[in-house]
Chains A and B, each alone.
Chain A
Amino acid sequence: MPDDALGRPYGVPARRAPVLPNGVLGMLIFVATEIMFFSGLISAFVIGKSNAIGGWPPPGQPRLPVEETALNTAALLASGVALYFANRAFQRSSANTKRLLLLAIGLGGFFVLFQGAEWVALIREGLTLTSGQLGGFFYLLVGTHALHVVAGFIILLYTYRRLSEGNLDRFTFWPAQIFWYFVVGVWPVLYWQVYL
């Protein structure tokens, strides 16, 4: 016989969807700290750049590959878009989820490989961590971002594995997406500040 205020039997808990899953809240807090971390790095770079005597980039230093990196930027942005559509397909339980997630991972992998090739070329041209202010800032900012891309890439691979096994839930997929959107979103700011 029902006996609580809502007419439910004693001992049956009230059920309500959580306002924010724990994983999502944790990832949001982490991303907030990361945004502040990158904001600090970018601010240091902006002040360092404005303090350079003789203009920026400093004379005698290699030029950064603006056009090639624009292509790479487009690949990373496309990866974010692919992940967005993968999530929409996931919500509809569509078979396209796997394909779109794989596309997002592939584009992220392309970004990492392309950037690796770019670094090899720049090091050959003489741009190293100790070659000057440009090299120091470049590898610090872009390198930190690259580390995040690799971490995000591993998280997406894990998500893909869970999806392939048929046990991916939105409480796992959502935090992974938040991290990847952060990685994708911070890159155009870095590109604008460092390359242009």
Chain B
Amino acid sequence: MIRLARVCASALLLSVAWAADLAYACPSCASPLEENRQAFVDTTIFLTLVPLMMMGGFIWWLRRRFRAMDEAPEIPVPESLLRDAGRFSKGG
């Protein structure tokens, strides 16, 4: 029963997408100027792509950095620390 209710709710939500024209949320869509309508489409594409590009670029850069770090040797532990690891050192 709950599953059926979820499916119905999802279908109802999806059907709203077909009724987007009723919302009039786009002030440029009814503009008589073709340039204005085109500007709205262009900026929508731009604003959609910018965050995706930023996130994609960051992930790509992180992957490169992780790979570079895996290939780089670990920073050696100073000899002074190796000799005396403090009072918790078993060897001390």
Contacts and interface: CB of A to CB of B under 8 A. Distances in A.
A39 B46 contact: yes
B64 to A, nearest CB: 11
Contacts of A20: 62, 65
Helix, strand, loop or mixed for chain A's interface?
A: loop
Nearest to A13: B77
Given A1-B90, A40-B47, A15 B77 contact: yes
Contact of A10 (B36, B51, B89): B89
A160 B81 CA distance: 35
Interface stretch (B6-14, B15-23, B27-35): B27-35
A12 B28 contact: no
A16 B75 contact: yes
A9 B40 contact: no
B39 A47 contact: yes
A36 B50 contact: yes
Nearest to B37: A50
A19 interface: yes
A17 B77 CA distance: 12
B65 A43 contact: no
Interface in A28-50: 28, 32, 35-36, 39-40, 43, 46-47, 49-50
6 cross-chain pairs, A with B, having the tightest CB-CB distances, nearest first: A1-B91, A9-B85, A43-B43, A50-B39, A50-B36, A50-B35
Interface of A: 1-3, 8-12, 14-17, 19-20, 28, 32, 35-36, 39-40, 43, 46-47, 49-51
Given A10-B85, A14-B74, 14 more contacts: A2-B91, A8-B82, A8-B85, A9-B85, A10-B88, A15-B77, A16-B69, A19-B62, A28-B58, A36-B50, A39-B46, A43-B46, A43-B47, A51-B28
